[in-house]
Amino acid sequence: MLTLTAVWEPSVPPLVSLNSHLLIAASTVSPYSYYATLYLRRNRKALESHGVEVEYARLRLLDGNKPPWTLPAKAAYSKFDSERACKYFGVPQIQTPEFFPILSIMPQRCMTYIKSHFPREQYETTFLSLWEWMFYKNIDISKPEKLAELFQSNGYSDSEVRQILAAASSPEFKQALTANTQIALDKGAYGAPWFWVRNAEGKEQPFFGSDRFAFMWMYLGLPFQDVAIVEKSML
């Protein structure tokens, strides 16, 4: 079985893979984590047909990492790249809110709790909502009251929302997110989305970014259709 899983989840036992597996960590402040998550969900059926099981982990801003918007050249380039990425992944153009970037620790801890206490589909749709509320609705999801509204919109009861928010302040889930990030750092991660891939031979390599899936599929030996130029007809 090929497994796409997040091993840095202290509260959740890692999946056992007989062959290959791929680890993914995403951040709620990274639009490219949003694109990667959408891509994997859209391709879940095809991945599962090859025995690929998909899971997600959260990653807080890595120590010492400089986000693109803090470097003038990267910030200028990102305006072009963001437009291209949105078009490629088939989503509306994102709008960077005035309050961005946010302190994402609370949303990330909440998602760590949700992953271990709720069904996969509910967890993943909630995960997507974090980006959608921030980049499309211009809502600051670092605010507890806004997070509560977001969770309620995803079908969580009032008591469940209280439990989720309380978990974000608990030592258990504070440590869980810290441990997740440290494991990623130890593997060389410097941003998100970050992937750690082990192939059927037991060899491992890192991959970074939402545009590296072709490289991953080649490494795992999955059949796929690559981007190709169509020759112009002379007729």
Residue pair 192/25 in contact (Cβ under 8 Å)? The answer is yes
Query: Does 226 reside within a domain?
Result: no
Mean pLDDT across 119-138? 95
Instruction: Specify the DSSP element, H or E, that contains 224.
Output: none
Whole-model pTM? 0.84
Query: Does 229 reside within a domain?
Result: no
> Bridge partners of 25?
57, 194
pLDDT at 11 over 50: no
> Bridge partners of 4?
22
Query: Does 190 reside within a domain?
Result: yes
pLDDT at 111: 93
Mean pLDDT across 217-225? 91
Count the domains in the chain.
1
pLDDT at 67: 65
Query: Does 230 reside within a domain?
Result: no
Residue 69's domain comprises: 3-220
Mean pLDDT across 79-83? 92
pLDDT at 52 over 80: no
Mean pLDDT across 192-211? 88
The amino acid at 175: Q
How confident is residue 37, by pLDDT bands cut at 50, 70 and 90?
A: very high
pLDDT at 9: 33
Query: Does 168 reside within a domain?
Result: yes
Query: Does 234 reside within a domain?
Result: no
Query: Does 193 reside within a domain?
Result: yes
Query: Does 167 reside within a domain?
Result: yes
Q: What percent of the chain has pLDDT over 90?
A: 50
Q: What is the CATH number of the domain that holds 89?
A: 3.40.30.10
pLDDT at 4 over 60: no
